[in-house]
Structure 1
Amino acid sequence: MADNRRRRSLFHISLLSASLLCLFLSPIPASAQPRKLRFDANGEFKILQVADMHFANGATTRCLNVLPAQMDHCSDLNTTAFLSRLIAAEKPDLIVFTGDNIYGPHVKDPVKSLNAAFAPAIASKTPWVAVLGNHDQESTLSRQELMKHIVTLPYTLSQVNPPEAAHYIDGFGNYNLQVHGAAAAAADSFLQNKSLLNLYFLDSGDYSKVPSIKGYDWIKTSQQLWFNNTSTKNLQREYNAEPNAQEGVAPGLAYFHIPLPEYWTFDSMNATKGDRLEETSSAKTNSGFFTTLVARGDVKGVFVGHDHNNDFCGELKGVNLCYGGVAGYHAYGFTGWPRRARVVVAGLNKNRDGKWGGVKSIRTWKRLDDQDLSRVDAQFLWNNPGN
């Protein structure tokens, strides 16, 4: 019976792989242009975070840290199958890939590997974005070249860098997306032209370029300047402006790869939900980005990858610091600890007149790659005290 299940699983993975290959051999339709992000008619916006796929060369790339019974038939295609199941089950409004999308040292052709890694998102026609980790560029393409390729793919909203900051900002893959109110067709919507949730994506780099500071890279002063300008001068001004002026600031979420040093604050006892199974591998220096986030006050959650065996959230000074957990089968993991991904849902408040207002709450859970695609560690990250 187990052998039959294994054969069926291999057949389905092979069939899925062939279907996704056909996707990239076909012309890209004009409809592949991504649509504007907005809350749905039920007042919700759902994000699927996929961390550390470590995709390499497909069926020939073996898995790491899986059970002995899985080893002989496990490959990158298991990552593809997991992502396809996730998308079908959750039906996200946006998919966010938070770096180490491919594992450069083992990649033969980075363009083909990127295409294959993102193929399930593209096949689903779901808007998606990506930032880079510390391993993506360890093949033959630079970080800039990788992002320049990513932005050409169907249904992506990724950007190489914001045009207004391209002349001074460090890294590649810094950008902001706005999530507007429900469509005007909804009778209970009047904020369809307001960004009610702001998403920030940043390049946390790879390795320190400062000889006296070893280890991983960090978010630079130029990126923090761009974040502050975008949040304060652009997004808050629009949020507070007529028509339909809103008070305060719209909440935000930030996504990047390498965790901030403040992630060290949490252990298995004081994290709100989830596991810490390894140390935090942050930069050896603190660039102050967490302080910048706290001072600005709009970002309610930070979501990273990098440390594969951590998937906890912890709240510090009003900001939730969360790991996505490892999704990729060619990434190191903890044997017997299923691959996983994080879901975040922002929900709108309904006003007394029955119309959707600003964001009321932000909640999260994780999905495991087991037989039932188990949903675990559901929690509220933020509730708007004004609602």
Structure 2
Amino acid sequence: MNFRGLFPFGVFLHDIAYKHFCNVRLDYNQIHLIDLGSITMADNKTKTSLFDFFPLSVFLVCLCLAPVPASAQGRKLSFGVNGQFKILQVADMHYANGGTTRCQNVLPSQMAHCSDLNTTAFMSRVIAAEKPDLIVFTGDNIFGSNVKDAVKSMNAAFAPAIAAKIPWVAVLGNHDQESTLSRQELMKHIVKLPNTLSKVNPPEAAHYIDGFGNNNLQIHGAVESSLHNKSVLNLYFLDSGDYSSITSLSKKYDWIKTSQQFWFDQTSKRLQKEYNKEPNPQQGTAPGLAYFHIPFPEFWSFDSKNASKGVRQEETGSATTNSGFFTTLVDRGDVKSVFVGHDHLNDFCGELKGLNLCYGGGFGYHAYGKAGWERRARVVVADLNKKGTGSWGDVKSIRTWKRLDDQHLSVIDEQVLWTSSPK
């Protein structure tokens, strides 16, 4: 089939999508045409057929014209038949108004043709390449101060994940609420979107917990294994806030509060009891991962020399108050790695007291970055043990790497974060 004949229709669909869905007029001059079927990516070298964006365009148009389908709330997540569960972390998209929003900190040769649409294109490419089981957005999904309509910008920011029909979850950063919606209103909108597993807050803690978007997801054992009804990997999502409400700290970053740590502690203990009980009781605790936006002060412990992989290129933008969440995590012992965003030029992982502290690295093109240093995404994979019978058991290891938005979607900094003790 000759896809090039669909090129004008593809542009037409994108025009409809961004006029009606994003409330942005798409100027065709903002898409640099290489030939009849290609557009440039942000590195000004990569060519991607516009037909690759055809499904996303159709999705955006349909989302404008059709009722929003039911969310994925209550959906059971499980390891695949290959014994793996893969998570894609998207940190700091800073999405604004689509094709009219210019990029920050790219090479001069890239500036004229770079916009929010490059963020959309990067996400579509990395989703297609990695085929994750879950996508996690770790805050600053939109750059509120530049956003005309928070709902439309949020919809456009998450559109590639929704179009891919992959479960996803989002937490908020310190910039999301700077537009037309409060943090609570943003989460109430997010939980209504298709395929999301986000929550405004866990029902059992809604009456006392600080913030919005706190959540726990349980990843069950492989289908048809003896652990298919038991969570073998636990994911925690927390709202690290925006700016402190304490007058003397009003311009300082916020932190994870005592109420959130209490909820985490209680949830972790409950999940351990379920892990240890019949049927198929397991020993110890299932490993866990935690995702939030603002790093805690312990991230200051690392630089490019003592981090296991990755680089530090800016200061850690943590709260000046240490809330003790790092100690809470270490004391419980089930969470093996935490993943944050916020500081776009840092993408390292470092281990402190048995806990891996990892940055996602800046993803979005409207976010500040470093010209010539590619935008990036972090991938995490948990692998199951294979029993002597050939069936899948509990989690054996947790690995990570990063994908760069270059010509080849290069994979860098592969490393093992955690392995289970021999039994």
> TM-score with structure 2 length normalisation?
0.87
- SS of 1:147's partner is helix
Alignment match, 1:129: 169
Distance 2:241 2:229 in 1: 34
Deviation at 1:5, TM superposition (A): 6.7
Instruction: Return the letter of the residue paired with 1:9.
Output: I
Distance 1:139 1:4 in 2: 36
Deviation at 1:354, TM superposition (A): 2.0
Question: Conserved in 1, the CA contact under 8 Å of 2:68 and 2:193?
Answer: no
Instruction: Return the letter of the residue paired with 2:382.
Output: A
Distance 2:303 2:36 in 1: 37
Alignment match, 2:238: 202
C-alpha offsets along residues 242-262 of structure 1, whole Å, 9 cap, x if unaligned? 000000000000000000100
Given candidates 36, 44, 55, the residue that maps to 2:84 is 44
Alignment match, 2:214: 174
Given candidates 58, 61, 82, the residue that maps to 1:19 is 58
Question: Conserved in 2, the CA contact under 8 Å of 1:137 and 1:146?
Answer: yes
Question: Conserved in 2, the CA contact under 8 Å of 1:32 and 1:125?
Answer: no
Question: Conserved in 2, the CA contact under 8 Å of 1:20 and 1:116?
Answer: no
Determine if the alignment matches structure 1 residue 9 to structure 2 residue 39.
yes
Question: Conserved in 2, the CA contact under 8 Å of 1:365 and 1:377?
Answer: yes
Determine if the alignment matches structure 1 residue 140 to structure 2 residue 180.
yes
- Specify every segment of 5 or more residues in structure 1 that has no aligned partner in the other structure, as ranges: none
Question: Conserved in 1, the CA contact under 8 Å of 2:210 and 2:259?
Answer: yes
Question: Conserved in 1, the CA contact under 8 Å of 2:71 and 2:191?
Answer: no
Distance 2:154 2:399 in 1: 30
Determine if the alignment matches structure 1 residue 227 to structure 2 residue 257.
no
Deviation at 1:27, TM superposition (A): 2.7
Deviation at 1:15, TM superposition (A): 5.3
Distance 2:116 2:238 in 1: 26
Given candidates 322, 328, 331, the residue that maps to 2:367 is 331
Instruction: Return the letter of the residue paired with 1:24.
Output: L
Identity between Structure 1 and Structure 2 (%)? 71
Alignment match, 1:246: 282
Alignment match, 2:12: none
Q: Alpha carbons of 1:348 and 1:280: their partners in 2 closer, same or farther (altered >3 Å)? A: same
C-alpha offsets along residues 179-210 of structure 1, whole Å, 9 cap, x if unaligned? 001112xxxx1100000000000000000111
Question: Conserved in 1, the CA contact under 8 Å of 2:56 and 2:159?
Answer: no
Deviation at 1:36, TM superposition (A): 1.4
Paired residue total: 381
Distance 1:301 1:179 in 2: 16
Alignment match, 1:377: 413
Deviation at 1:45, TM superposition (A): 0.2
Question: Conserved in 2, the CA contact under 8 Å of 1:342 and 1:366?
Answer: yes
Alignment match, 2:392: 356
Distance 2:199 2:174 in 1: 18
Q: Alpha carbons of 1:73 and 1:14: their partners in 2 closer, same or farther (altered >3 Å)? A: farther
Question: Conserved in 2, the CA contact under 8 Å of 1:198 and 1:252?
Answer: yes
Deviation at 1:116, TM superposition (A): 0.2
Alignment match, 1:109: 149
In the TM superposition, 1:293-308 aligns within 5 A as 293-308=329-344
In the TM superposition, 1:311-326 aligns within 5 A as 311-326=347-362
C-alpha offsets along residues 153-173 of structure 1, whole Å, 9 cap, x if unaligned? 000000000000000000000
Determine if the alignment matches structure 1 residue 62 to structure 2 residue 111.
no
Q: Alpha carbons of 1:334 and 1:245: their partners in 2 closer, same or farther (altered >3 Å)? A: same
Instruction: Return the letter of the residue paired with 2:216.
Output: N
- Specify every segment of 5 or more residues in structure 2 that has no aligned partner in the other structure, as ranges: 1-31, 41-48
Question: Conserved in 2, the CA contact under 8 Å of 1:348 and 1:356?
Answer: yes
In the TM superposition, 1:254-265 aligns within 5 A as 254-265=290-301
Distance 1:60 1:230 in 2: 44
Given candidates 115, 119, 130, the residue that maps to 1:79 is 119
Instruction: Return the letter of the residue paired with 2:395.
Output: V
- SS of 2:78's partner is coil
Q: Alpha carbons of 1:303 and 1:58: their partners in 2 closer, same or farther (altered >3 Å)? A: same
Distance 2:228 2:219 in 1: 9
C-alpha offsets along residues 197-235 of structure 1, whole Å, 9 cap, x if unaligned? 000000000001112234100000000000000001x20
Distance 2:68 2:321 in 1: 46
Distance 2:95 2:161 in 1: 14
Deviation at 1:148, TM superposition (A): 0.2
- SS of 1:84's partner is helix
Alignment match, 2:226: 190
Distance 1:325 1:332 in 2: 11
Question: Conserved in 2, the CA contact under 8 Å of 1:174 and 1:203?
Answer: yes
Runs of 4+ in 1 over 6 A off after TM superposition: none
Given candidates 172, 180, 197, the residue that maps to 1:157 is 197
In the TM superposition, 1:95-106 aligns within 5 A as 95-106=135-146
Instruction: Return the letter of the residue paired with 2:140.
Output: D
Distance 1:3 1:237 in 2: 58
